[in-house]
Chains A and B, each alone.
Chain A
């Protein structure tokens, strides 16, 4: 039998956020009497973009429905980052370009300020 390979650091970094609140914990009441036992926090960034996802899903359903009826499909949605008519772009970093088909989206140009 060959020994299993130790996971690489890239894979471990991916699973770290689901392990942070796991593992044995010294009971809180005991920790008080054990001077100097503490749990440090690690700053792990988790992006939660539920609303963005919900809107993207609904728009995808509308697109599929339009295709089924032979109507012209609405533009491909990109959630909050590029959604059409629901919310202004707020979290562009959430958009995953690989997940959406690149469709030209009309970007309104800013009206020029009148010269004083």
Chain B
């Protein structure tokens, strides 16, 4: 039977009760797997992600690309070895005690457009459909810039709790989506801070494995040793 590969953990990772996964040990690491029965659905992917989140509470998890499948245990082991064990070990060390939190801010469109209008840069309409769309695109860019400034100010306390921030693509110009790499014990503080935002619809999802903070490229090493 083929296997879904979900992530890489330390072999000594404390296993939560009721986990849908099992481990295949490779050296002092282990690949997190589950049986692959049929086509991967959105529900499967969500359930697998929830399983990884539960694992995260007991130690660092390096997530593999969602939907990675191996024909058997030997292929799963080979997949981990292909990622190079020392690099994986170093990244587990780097991400130990950290988690990714997503914060989405959805600003009111009328408020955003009024703020852009008040700046006085946009008057009149386009001469034809192409120029209308072009002017609309310029307005969208101005809305996105306004939204970014608002989000920067609102999210300053969350940024202060974070080790790193990744800007993500939101669906709308009035939406801001960011991933924060935060200490696991600060996850609730982030959630509380986001819950207190006024004048914006704010949602917070996490703690998640550090999907946006994985970089297995070799880190430059200083010749001076720091």
Among A6, A54, A99, contact of B137 (Cβ-Cβ < 8 Å)? A54
Among A13, A16, A22, A86, contact of B212 (Cβ-Cβ < 8 Å)? A22
User: Within residues 75 to 119 of chain B, which ones have a CB less than 8 A from any CB in chain A?
Assistant: 75, 78-79, 82-83, 99, 102, 104, 109-110, 113-114, 116-117
Are A2 and B53 in contact (CB-based, < 8 A)? Answer: no
Are A38 and B64 in contact (CB-based, < 8 A)? Answer: no
* SS class, residues of chain B in contact with chain A: mixed
Smallest CB separation, A26 vs chain B (Å): 5
Q: In whole angstroms, what is the CA distance A3 to B57 when docked?
A: 7
B50 within 8 A of A: yes
Among B68, B140, B205, contact of A37 (Cβ-Cβ < 8 Å)? B68
Point out the residues of chain A lying under 8 angstroms from B27, CB to CB.
Answer: none
| Chain A residue total in the interface (Cβ 8 A) | 54
Residues of A within 8 A of B (CB): 1-7, 9, 11-16, 18-27, 30, 34-44, 46-47, 50-51, 53-58, 60-62, 64-65, 86-87, 99
Q: In whole angstroms, what is the CA distance A22 to B209 when docked?
A: 11
Point out the residues of chain B lying under 8 angstroms from A26, CB to CB.
Answer: 64, 68, 79, 82-83
Q: In whole angstroms, what is the CA distance A24 to B63 when docked?
A: 6
B65 within 8 A of A: yes
Are A53 and B173 in contact (CB-based, < 8 A)? Answer: yes
Q: In whole angstroms, what is the CA distance A16 to B47 when docked?
A: 11
Return the chain B residue nearest A9 by Cβ: B46
Are B62 and A64 in contact (CB-based, < 8 A)? Answer: no
Smallest CB separation, B166 vs chain A (Å): 10
| A16-B49, A26-B82, A54-B137 as given contacts; A38 in contact with B69, CB under 8 Å | yes
Among A12, A14, A24, contact of B53 (Cβ-Cβ < 8 Å)? A12
